Chains A and B, each alone.
Chain A
Amino acid sequence: MTGRRPFWLFTALAFGYAFLYLPIVTLIVYSFNDSRLVTVWGGFSTRWYGELLRNEQILAALWLSVRIAAMNATFATVLGTLAALTLVRFARFRTRMLFAGMVAAPLVMPEVILGLSALLMFVTLEQMVGWPAGRGMTTITIAHITFTTAFVAVVVQSRLSQLDGSLEEAAMDLGARPWKVFLVIILPIISPALIAGWLLGFTLSMDDLVIASFVSGPGATTLPMVIYSSVRMGVSPQVNALATIIVVVVSTGVVVAGWLLHRQGRRRQS
C-alpha cells in the first residue's frame, strides 16, 4: 500500500460522491436560507425550522406517513417472506410459474395502474360488502403492502436460495420439527434479509406518491402528497428543513447500526 494511487481514481471518487451527495448537501444548505425562494440565497436563518414545527399539516402528514410505512413494512415482510419460502422450498408445484410471475408483477407494473386498480377494487368492495368503509389510512396501507411485498420477496428469496440445505437437514435429524427448524435455524440466518426487506418496504412506502394519491380518502394526506401539491405554489423552504431533519435521523441510524455491526463482528472474531 505504499505506491501512490492514480490521480484519476481520486477524481472519479470525488465525482462519484459529488454526484450522489451534492443534491443533498444543497438541500441542507438551503434549509438554512432566510429567503422564501428556494433557489436564491438570502442569509443564514433557522426560521423555516420554527415554521415547520408550527405547520400542523406537514407534521400530521409526516406522522401518518411514518405509521403507514411501519405497518406496511411489517406486513410486507411477513407476506414477502412467506412468498419467498414457497418459491425456494417448493421447487415444483403446478402453478409455480404463475405464482412466481404474480409475485414479481408489481415490480414492473406502472404505479398508476396499481393505484387505479386498487382504487377501483376498494370502491367495489365497499359497495358489495361495506368494507373498507371509505378510504384512508387502511386502504393506503393495503395498497402499499401489495406492491412492497414483491420487493421483500425478491430480497428474501435471494438470501434463502444461498442457504445451505444441510443445516436444515441436520436440525431435522436431531429431532426438530419443521416449525422449530424455521424458527431456530432459518429465521436467524435470513434475518439480515428480513431487516433489509423491512427497511426497503418502509422507504418505498414513505416515498410513494402515485398509489397513495389514488387510494387516499378524507383526512389521509401523506407527506409526499402534501409536498407535491405545494409545488404548484412553489416549494417552501419548510420542505428543505423537514428533509434535513429526515437526513440527519437516517444517517444517525445508519452510523449507529454500522457501529453495532462492527462491534459484533469484532466480538465474533475474538
Chain B
Amino acid sequence: MMIDIRKTLGATALLALAACSPAEQPVVHVYNWSDYISDAVIERFEEQTGIKVVYDVYDANEILEAKLLAGRSGYDVIFPTAHPFAERHIEAGLYLPLDLAQLPSHRNLDPILMQKLQSVDPGNRHTVPYMWGTTGIGYNVEAVTAILGEEAELDSWSLLFDPETAESLSGCGIAVLDDEGEALAAALLYLGLDPNTTDPDAIQAATDLFMSVRPFIRYFHASKYINDLANGDICVAHGYSGDVLQARDRAEEAGRGVEVAYAIPQEGAVLWVDLMAVPADAPNPEQAHAFIDFLMVPENIAEITDEVAYANANRAATEFVDAEIRNDPGVYPTDDLRERLVTLDPLPDDVQRARVRAWTQIKTGR
C-alpha cells in the first residue's frame, strides 16, 4: 500500500514538473479552412522561429463566428472571409489592431487589393489579405462552343442573362449560385449598374432580368455545380473561381474528356478575399504576428498558392508562383480586369430586405 502511494506521488510530481517546465515552448494556435495551407511552410516556420503551431480547421465561417462571439476562443490567427464576416467582426471589435512594426513583410501586399478592402476594414488596421478569388462563370468548353459556335464571347455574363443564349444553353444545363448577394450582383453588373445599389428600380431591373431567363436555369445551389461541371451534367455555372478550378481538375483526373474552363466576365465580377486576423483576446498575439508575417514572405505564400491554387494577395510573391497558375487569367486576372472587380458592401436593412424578397421571387419563379 505504501509503495502504491509513493508511486502515485512520484508520478504526480513528474506530471507537475512536466506541466511547468521552465523551457516551455511558445505556441501559436492557428484556425484555418481545411486544405488551405502548405504543410511544408508550417514546418519551416516551426524550425525557423521555434514556435510550435497548433493547427485546427473549420469548414464554415459561421463556426468561426460562433466561437469568436462567445469569446475566449483560444485561437491566435484566424482566416475569416472579408465580406460579410470580417466586416461585422471588426465592427463588433473582435479583432486586435495589428502592429505593423511586427509585420515587416506587410509592404509586399497588393495595393489594389488593399484599397478595395478599405470598405471592409477601414485603414487596413485589423486584417491582412491571405488568398482571394472571384465569382464568375464556369463552363464546359466543348459543349458551349458546340452550341454557340467558335467565335462566341464566353467571358461575359450574357451566357447567363441573354435570353436567347440562355435558352440555347438550357438544354445542357445552367446553374446559378444560391446566394442573393452574388446572384443579384451578377445581374446588376450585366446591366452596367452598381452591384451595391440601394436603388429599388435597379433591384427591380435585376429581378426582371432574372425572371426573363428563369425558365432556362436548371437549379440554384451553392456547391452542387462542382461535380456536375466535372461530370458534364451541366455546361454553364455561375460559381466561385476556386470551385470551378477544382471542377476542372476533377474533370481532368476523371479523364472522360470533359474540359472545364473559368472566365471572369468582362462586365466585372465579385471579388472575395479571405483575410488573416488576430482575435482581440488571443493568448499569444506576439507569436500570431510572427506567423502572419511569415505567411507574407513572398516565397512562403507562393508555395501555398502552388499547393491550393488560389491567388495570394502578395505582389512580390507572383514571380515565385508556378507559371501555370500565375499565367492562368482565371486565377491571376490582368490588371485591367482586376480594376473591374467589385467587393460587396454592407447594405442598409431595408435594402437588404428588398433584395432578399426579390431573390425569393426569382428562385420560386413567381
Interface residues of A (CB under 8 A from B): 35-37, 39-40, 57, 116, 119-120, 123, 126-127, 134-136, 213-214, 216-221, 225-226, 228-234
Task: List chain B positions with a Cβ less than 8 A from chain A.
Answer: 29, 31, 33-35, 54-59, 63, 66-67, 70-75, 226-227, 246, 250, 253-254, 256, 283
Evaluate contact between B250 and A234: CB separation under 8 angstroms: yes
B70 in contact with A120 (CB, 8 Å): yes
List A contacts of B29 (CB < 8 A).
218-219
* Residues in B neighbouring A233, C-beta threshold 8 A: 34-35, 246
In the complex where A119-B66, A230-B34 touch, is A217 in contact with B246 (Cβ < 8 A)? no
A135–B253 Cα gap in the complex (Å)?
41
CB < 8 Å neighbour of A37 from B34, B35, B57, B254: B254
A229 adjacent to B59 (CB under 8 Å): yes
Q: Give B246 Cβ to nearest chain A Cβ, in Å.
A: 7
The distance in angstroms between the C-alpha atoms of A127 and B281, with both chains bound, is 12
Task: Look across to chain A and name the residue whose beta carbon is closest to the beta carbon of B55.
Answer: A57
Verify B70–A234 contact, CB threshold 8 A. Answer: no
Known: A37-B253, A218-B29. A226 touches B57 (CB 8 A): yes
Which residues does chain A contribute within 8 Å of B55, judged by CB atoms?
57
Contacts of A57 in B (CB 8 A): 55
Residues of B within 8 A of A221 (CB): 56-57
List the A residue with the shortest CB-CB distance to B66. A214
Is B254 a contact partner of A229 (Cβ separation < 8 A)? no
**Interface pairs (25), CB distance under 8 Å:** A37-B254, A39-B227, A40-B253, A40-B256, A116-B66, A119-B70, A120-B70, A123-B72, A136-B74, A213-B58, A213-B63, A214-B63, A214-B67, A218-B31, A218-B74, A219-B29, A221-B57, A225-B58, A225-B59, A229-B59, A232-B59, A233-B34, A233-B35, A233-B246, A234-B226
| C-alpha spacing A123/B29, complex, angstroms | 18
Which partner residue on chain B sits nearest A35 by CB separation? B253
> Closest chain A residue to B226 by CB distance?
A234
Within 8 Å CB of A134, what residues of B? 72, 74, 283
10 additional contacts, CB 8 Å, given A213-B58, A229-B34?
A: A35-B254, A40-B256, A57-B55, A116-B66, A119-B66, A123-B71, A136-B74, A228-B59, A229-B59, A232-B59
Q: Which 5 A-B pairs have the closest CB atoms?
A: A218-B29, A229-B34, A229-B59, A233-B35, A219-B54
A185 to B223, CA, bound (A): 57
Residues from chain A with Cβ under 8 Å of B59 in the complex: 225, 228-229, 231-232
- Shortest distance in angstroms between B31's beta carbon and chain A's nearest beta carbon? 7
Q: Give CA–CA (A40, B31) in the complex, Å.
A: 32
Question: Which of these, B56, B63, B70, B227, contacts A218 with CB under 8 Å?
Answer: B56
Q: How far is the CB of A144 from chain B (nearest CB, A)?
A: 18
Partner of B35, one of A136, A228, A230: A230
Please give, as numbers and ranges, the residues of chain B lying within 8 Å of A39 by CB-CB distance.
Answer: 227
Among B56, B66, B71, B73: residue with most chain A CB under 10 A: B56
Q: Across the interface, do A232 and B254 meet the contact criterion of CB distance under 8 Å?
A: no
B74 touches A217 (CB 8 A): yes
Residues of A within 8 A of B256 (CB): 40
Residue of A nearest to B36 (CB): A233
B73–A217 contact, CB under 8 A? yes
Complex alpha-carbon distance, A119 and B62, angstroms:
14
Task: Give Cα A39 to B130, complex, Å.
Answer: 32
- Complex Cα–Cα for A119 and B70 (A): 7
Please, which residue of chain A has its CB at the minimum distance from the CB of B76?
A218
Residues of A within 8 A of B35 (CB): 230, 232-233
Whole-angstrom distance between the Cβ of A223 and the nearest chain B Cβ: 12
Q: How far is the CA of A220 from the CA of B54 in the complex (A)?
A: 9
> Which residues of B have CB within 8 Å of A228?
59
Residues of the B chain whose Cβ atoms lie less than 8 Å from the Cβ of A36: 253
Roughly how many angstroms separate A200 CA and B21 CA in the complex, as a whole number? 40
Q: Which residue of B lies closest to A116 (CB)?
A: B66
Could you say which residues of chain B place their CB within 8 Å of the CB of A231?
59
User: Quick check: B74 and A40 within 8 Å, CB to CB?
Assistant: no
In the complex, what distance in Å separates the CA atom of A221 from the CA atom of B57?
A: 8
Q: CA of A39 to CA of B255 in the docked complex: distance in angstroms?
A: 12
How many angstroms between the C-alpha atoms of A120 and B29 in the bound complex? 21
Q: How far is the CA of A246 from the CA of B184 in the complex (A)?
A: 46
CB distance from A221 to the nearest CB of B (A): 5
Q: Which residue of A lies closest to B247 (CB)?
A: A234
| Minimum Cβ distance to chain A for residue B310 (Å) | 11
- CB B36 to nearest CB in A, in angstroms, measures 8
A41 to B: closest C-beta gap in Å: 10
A40: chain B residues within 8 A (beta carbon): 253-254, 256
- Looking at B34, B54, B75, B253, which has the most chain A CB atoms within 10 Å of its CB? B34
Interface centre among A225, A228, A229 (most CB of B within 10 A): A229
Give the docked Cα–Cα distance between A214 and B65 (Å). Answer: 10
Question: Which residue of A is nearest B231, CB measured?
Answer: A39
